[in-house]
């Protein structure tokens, strides 16, 4: 949650983004679920609503809001936000 902590300390909003590539390879067995776009693939970029962050705001609710916004953007981009 490094970006979240920096945004909280600076009192600036976070901007959630998600990108989906088709066709692409998903590297299974990796902790980060890395995706490698194939040559000539199409990308779809989705932007979520900015998330306002106040200094000293508790991290747990911010993390929940950020994860929900990222999952929503990923879903709109056309990829499963939490693939197996």
pLDDT digits (tens, 9 = 90+) for 28-50: 887 777 889 999 999 999 999 99
| Cα–Cα distance measured from residue 67 to residue 61, given in angstroms and rounded to the nearest whole number | 10
Query: To 5 degrees, how large is the angle CA 28–CA 35–CA 12?
Result: 120
Residue 83 lies in a domain: no
47 lies in which domain range? 2-77
Structural tokens at position 73: 């953007």
Residues 6+ apart with CB under 8 A from 3: 14
Residue 75: pLDDT over 70 = yes
Q: 23 — alpha (psi -120 to 50), left (phi > 0) or beta?
A: beta
Mean pLDDT, to the nearest integer, of 49-60? 91
Domains in the chain, number: 1
Please state the pTM of the whole predicted model: 0.79
Residue 20: pLDDT over 50 = yes
Residue 82 lies in a domain: no
Mean pLDDT, to the nearest integer, of 6-17? 92
- Give the chain's mean pLDDT: 88
Higher confidence at residue 21 or residue 83? 21
| Cα–Cα distance measured from residue 1 to residue 16, given in angstroms and rounded to the nearest whole number | 13
């Amino acid at each position: 949650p490094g970006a979240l902590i920096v945004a909280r300390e600076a009192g600036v909003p976070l901007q959630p983004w998600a990108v989906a590539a088709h066709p692409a390879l998903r590297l299974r067995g990796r902790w980060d679920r890395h995706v490698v776009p194939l040559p000539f693939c199409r990308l779809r970029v989705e932007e979520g609503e900015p998330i306002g962050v106040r200094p000293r705001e508790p991290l747990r609710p911010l993390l929940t809001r950020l994860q929900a916004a990222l999952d929503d953007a990923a879903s709109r981009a056309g990829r499963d936000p939490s693939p197996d």
